[in-house]
Structure 1
Amino acid sequence: MKTGLACIGLTTLDVVARAIDALPEGEGTTLIEGIACAPAGTAAGAALVAAKLGMSVSLASAVGDDLVGRFIRMALDEAGVDLRALETLPGLPSSTTVLAVDSAGRRPNFHALGAGMLAAATPQALAAARSARFLHYAGIGGPRLDGGPGADLVQAGRETGATVTCDLISPQPSALDELKRILPHVDYFLPSAAEARMLTGQDDLFAAADIFISLGARNCLVKNGGLGSVVVVDGARTTLPAYAIKPIDTTSCGDSYCAGFIAALDRGWPPLAAARFATATAALVAQGLATLGKLESFEATEAAMRAMTLNGDV
């Protein structure tokens, strides 16, 4: 019986500092509220959150053979993520992002390219795709995956019975060609609102979702930050509101939405209810620093859904 989740795509380390409202002149020391480090990226971030929510998770990606790569491995291993398909690429640094989060939760970031973008369709990645109940493909934009290898992984997962979800790595306009290969094998496509608008040229997010469905996706959920999400699933077309929270750091909220959605589907929740759980997952992540924020468990997230107020509720 197929179980668990396989995540394929980008792995980075996020170093998050808050609150930084301006860069001081000179070289003096400025005290801030906190600093956190965590594995992140479209694949590793989703993997870490899904593991926190109780899923069995494997990660197919790449890190460098540096201290950062060893730290990423250690943190994911401690979370229980299966790393047999996580490559270590000799002579390369690991992808790393420094995020300077301001008092309003905005997060200008500074990214150093590294091995994380070089995830590949290795035999280990193929085995992970074939063995998982859920396959989260978050590799569009990866140079070793685009052009066919990534589509082969997604097709293999789909043909062996996986439920396939898909997210994007900061796409260029060329990503639309890759989506034409990938989306016919995807059950749920989960772009951000900015990505959906950029790729389709549509301001209306329902119209953008319709374009992705016309390219083959069976369903589409567009993540729209503090405005919630636009959901087109199983014939239903609706907007789900976000929760009324004070965001501390919105890093990895998109990845956590994906992971929360998958974790709820894994528990047998219908898609609309799973999207509401995904919204709550992202809200908890946004209330703390880095990939996990204030996330504790699946059960705690269920409780938070009952306790938090939705935007627009009286």
Structure 2
Amino acid sequence: MPGPRIMIVSSTMTDLVSYLDRMPDRGETVFGKDFAQGFGGKGANQAVMAALLGAQVTMVCAVGTDSFGRDTIENFRSSGIGTDFIVEVDDTHSGLAMILVDPDGDNRIVLAPGANELLTPDHVDAAFDGSPAPDLVLSQLEVPQETICRGFERARRSGATTVLNPAPAAPVDPELLRVTDWVVPNETELAILLEAETGRTVGDLEADALTFADRIDASLVVTLGERGALLVRDGVAERFEAPAVRAVDTTGAGDAFCGGFAYALAGGASPADAIRLGTTLASDSVTRRGTQASYARGEGLDRLLERS
């Protein structure tokens, strides 16, 4: 049976990852222990996770006409992700992410968005007009918000669920929040959203999450890393634990969560079951290095699904 249809309006990045004994201080140069290059971008990562689970994923994004862009398109094809609505843009570079990882698995990331900033509402319209209606549309904040808003407006018209992962952390246009069904921030992102919406800083997590969800009239899932996740829906907050693991590299864990959550929600699972799947996938991903490369596949993925 075909999996749920998910359209992802978002970014692609090539990850350039350096593994360090410690993070450099200001003005300091340090030697790295190791280096890896891989495919990334929040939308691309979430697309790969959802596709691995069996979703029919269509990627709506922009890349440059450079080797990074060509390799990105091929990576999507090899992952079973639809590439008909990937736009190739001249005179700019494909998105790049420079990532530093310390021995505890924590990371620092610098983004060079390039072609991602040139994805337009017209590109989104072309995707909706040229493909079957999706069950769910998923976006992040690595492309222009007006483009995401068009995607969510078209999703609403077709009866699809809309999910916004407001990352990297930034205030969100009220017009975009108006057409968003689910907001999935981490704690830092929630703090920025709350301050933009109410002028307050986060004090009590659950109370503030309830306040924010009520203000925007949307459901909310706050990801809490090793502490799991918080679901806020219909005026009720509920905590979910994450499996205990030893973290090697946390890069892309939030994207594993979002890809799994979106897949389950699009397939008709309850929000609670969608969160359990997301936390299982995210916790597993941090036990391996890399971003998309850290996501479970084959028999390893099957074992995780049995436990979630």
Aligned to 1:308: none
1:111-162 Cα shifts (integer Å, max 9, x gaps)? 3331123322213233378711111122x4633x43xx43232121112111
Give the CA deviation at 1:276.
Answer: 0.9
Q: Return the offset for 1:11.
A: 1.6
Identity of aligned residues (%): 23
Match of 1:142 in 2: 143
Does residue 79 of the first structure (1) align with residue 79 of the second (2)?
A: yes
**1:172 alignment counterpart:** 170
Distance in 2 (alpha carbons) for counterparts of 1:41 and 1:217: 28
SS in 2 for 1:108: strand
The 3 A distance-change label for structure 1 pair 129 and 254 is farther
Pair 1:6 & 2:7 matched: yes
Deviations 1:18-52 (A, max 9, x none): 354366xx9998653x62412x2231111111111
Unmatched runs of 5 consecutive residues or more in structure 1: 306-314
C-alpha distance in structure 1 between counterparts of 2:240 and 2:49, whole Å? 21
Query: Cα distance 1:212–1:183, how it changes in 2: closer, same or farther (>3 A)?
Result: farther
Contact 1:104 1:247 in 2 (8 A): yes
Change (3 A) 1:303 1:58: same
The residue that corresponds to 1:153 in the other structure is 151
Structure 2 residue aligned with 1:264: 264
Deviation of the 1:258 alpha carbon: 0.9
Q: How much has 1:273 moved relative to structure 2? A: 1.4
Say whether the 8 Å CA contact 2:46–2:258 is kept in structure 1: yes
For the 8 Å contact 1:129–1:154, the answer to whether it is kept is no
The aligned counterpart of 1:35 is: 36
Note if contact 1:205-1:230 (Cα within 8 Å) is conserved in structure 2.
no
Structure 1 residues 251 and 7, CA gap change in structure 2 (3 angstroms): same
User: Which secondary structure state, in structure 2, belongs to the residue aligned with residue 131 of structure 1?
Assistant: coil
| Change beyond 3 A, Cα 1:273–1:237 | same
1:192 aligns with 2:170: no
Report matched runs for 1:17-32 at 5 Å. 17-21=18-22, 32=34
The total of aligned residue pairs comes to: 295
Partner of 2:255: 255
Gaps of at least 5 residues in structure 2 are 195-200
Q: 2:134 aligns to what? A: 132
- Runs ≥4 residues deviating over 4 A: 26-31
| TM-score calculated relative to the size of structure 1 | 0.83
- Once the two structures are TM-superposed, the CA of residue 172 in structure 1 deviates from its matched residue by 3.2
- C-alpha displacement of 1:235: 5.0
* Counterpart residue identity of residue 272, structure 1: A
**How far, CA to CA, are the matches of 2:67 and 2:151 in structure 1?**
30
Decide whether the 8 Å contact of 1:36 with 1:289 is kept in 2: no
Q: Specify the alignment match of 1:102 in structure 2.
A: 102
| Mean Cα deviation higher: 127-136 or 97-106 | 127-136
C-alpha change, 1:202 and 1:76, in structure 2 (3 Å) is same
Cα 1:187–1:2 change in 2 (3 A) is farther
